[in-house]
Amino acid sequence: MELDLEPISRIEGHLGVHVKVEDGEYVDARVKVTMYRGFESLLKGKDLHLAPNVAGKICGVCGATHTLVSTEALEMAYGVYPSSDAIKFRNIAYSLADIMYNNVTVVYLFQAIDYSAEVVKKHTPSVYERAKETNCEFRDVHGYPKVSSILDNLYFGKEIYRSAFRVQTALRDLATAIWLRYPQPLSLKPGTITIRDPSIAEKVKKFMKEDREIEKLFYIMAELREFFAGYKRIEDDYVTYGLLESDEYDADYEGMDEWGSKREFPAALIINGELVEDRLSKILLSVRVYVDGTPYEDWDREYERDELGNELDRRHPWNKETKLKGKIVINNFVPTVKQYYNGKEYMPTTGDIARLYAYRLKKGKIRALGYEWEPRGNTVMERTFARIFTVAYLKEYLQQIEVSGTDLSPRKGKRGYRLAVGAHDAPRGANAHWLITDGNKVLRYQIITPSDRNFSPNLGPVERSIIGQKVTEEAGVSGLDALRIVRSFDPCSACAVHLEYKNNIIKLLV
């Protein structure tokens, strides 16, 4: 049996996954994107100062991510950086909207529907029967006695869904008080941020101290982490550029390894569960992009070294040029993104789970709301739980953050760079914009998003997670397991499933 999951929206255009099922197991999976968006081409020749505004339109859910990363690329190019107060205001807004708001939305308004009683009873009735017999460990926190009572309240409009909706709305509203518009913030500028309400930091702290719903949502997912623990595990290979700047951020490329390591969640490349690289500049220099089997033309090695003398591979984004072939035969616009390390190329997972692994390996044990996170592998529920654990961690982080003043004037750095890069994790993981300037114009602009990594064809993380997964459905195959896997990588807004039978093939239009 073959199934087409297409299109899955909000993943750099229209994403689809074609899967094959034989003898109760997914034996093949192929990712494809069937729409060309062209932001990299759109940015060529534009005035530099327009880049964050244009790049912010890439995503309608986490637009601040691209605005921030583009702004940091310009800060490196210009040789300016923000004050300590400006960094803290940025961190507050980024935590609220692009991480917490996004993660609550994805976990409970998108993913959790797949685990609701309405879905579980239909496709895996024995699992629901087991849920009726399973006591909740954290019932004193969230109030649900059995796992089944949680499943009964996950569907659209049910109690847990409504709670998550209230929380994500409040988080978005608080963030918008700083961003001034969300998505696509208006307040971010290279070296600074515009703040209209200097008391917003205290308002955020007050909300976090008084809120009780985030804790309930967190411990609900802790129950589901234990209950739905049977999905396929793939390699503990992860990459993260880090999250939330420290006061040591100065946007200077030469000092990137130092300030990148001081982020709240530090940069890291992890292979087989071991930290193998924590220098942000080296992680970025080792990115490789392949366009075989896509409608893109290949490119030459125009730049052999960066401005510090580091060698640039032909497949590096600073050398990459986005050009469509004259005649498009293959309608799949997803490149293959790999990470080079020690003579080999890897395709690591990125996202919240990567950040938690990096934190634990670099800084030690990590706790949030009285719960200590420990690694259990790279699975559907572990990726999902990492998402809500990060929300819990940032709730406590925002209660403690102190903004000492309102000095938001830009600082002058050591120098500017013609080859610049902004690299900062989005909620979905490692996000980077590589920029080459020509005076005050954009000569080249290349964007590698976390979804480019997770949804890479040629056995990227999503494909590897699907292939070999056993079908858990008890009456026919609707693709539920594949959809749970896809959504666990946070494909933004894949939330509507429809079935179409055509030529003896089941097609799932998502």
C-alpha distances in Å from residue 109, one per residue of 56, 112, 117, 153: 23, 6, 15, 12
- Please list the alpha-helical segments (H only) found in 347-500: 352-363, 380-400, 450-454, 461-466, 480-488
pTM (two decimals): 0.94
Range list of H helices, 238-304: 256-261, 280-285
Distances in Å between the alpha carbon of 167 and those of 178, 213, 214, 223, 268?
Answer: 18, 7, 7, 19, 31
The closest of 166, 143, 153 to 116, measured between CA atoms, is 153
Please, which residues bridge with residue 338 across strands?
A: 288
pLDDT of residue 34: 66
**What number of residues does the chain have?**
510
Between the CA of residue 204 and those of 22, 208, 261, 455, 472, what are the distances in Å?
51, 6, 26, 35, 43
Q: What's residue 330's pLDDT?
A: 65
Which pLDDT does position 58 carry in this prediction?
85
- The rounded Cα 369 to chain-centroid distance in angstroms is 23
Q: Residues 458, 337: contact at Cβ < 8 Å?
A: no
The radius of gyration of the chain from alpha carbons, rounded to an integer in Å, stands at 22
Provide the token pair at 414. Answer: 């050591």
Using CA atoms, how far apart are residues 152 and 117, in angstroms rounded to an integer?
5
pLDDT string in tens for the chain (510-residue length):
998 877 653 333 456 789 999 999 999 999 876 666 688 999 999 999 999 999 998 877 777 999 999 999 999 999 999 999 999 999 999 999 999 999 999 999 989 999 999 999 999 999 999 999 999 999 999 999 999 999 999 999 999 999 999 999 999 999 999 999 998 899 999 999 999 999 999 999 999 999 999 999 999 999 999 999 989 999 999 999 999 999 999 999 999 999 999 999 999 999 999 999 999 999 999 999 999 988 889 999 999 999 999 999 999 999 999 988 877 666 677 889 999 999 999 999 999 999 999 999 999 999 999 999 999 999 999 999 999 999 999 999 999 999 988 899 999 999 999 999 999 999 999 999 999 999 999 999 999 999 899 999 999 999 999 999 999 999 889 889 998 999 899 875 322 222 233 344 434 333
The angle subtended at Cα 9 by Cα 7 and Cα 10, nearest 5°, is 155
- For tokens 């708001």, name the residue: 101
Which H/E stretch holds residue 54?
A: helix 51-55
Domains and CATH numbers, the chain: 2-509 (1.10.645.10)
In this predicted structure, what is the pLDDT of residue 332? 73
Quick one: which of 22, 61, 69, 161 has its CA closest to 470?
A: 22
Q: What pLDDT was estimated at residue 334?
A: 80
186 with 194: CB under 8 angstroms?
Answer: yes
Q: What is the dihedral of CA 469, 464, 503, 328, to 10 degrees?
A: 170
Q: What are phi and psi of 434, to 5 degrees?
A: -100, 130
Q: Which residues neighbour 434 within 8 Å (Cβ) at sequence distance 6 or greater? A: 73, 317, 318, 320, 419, 420, 421, 444, 445, 446, 447, 448
Q: What is the pLDDT of residue 416?
A: 98
CB 432 within 8 A of CB 68: no
**Spatial separation of the C-alpha atoms in residues 448 and 434, rounded to whole Å:** 8
Give CA–CA dist 236/234, Å, rounded: 7
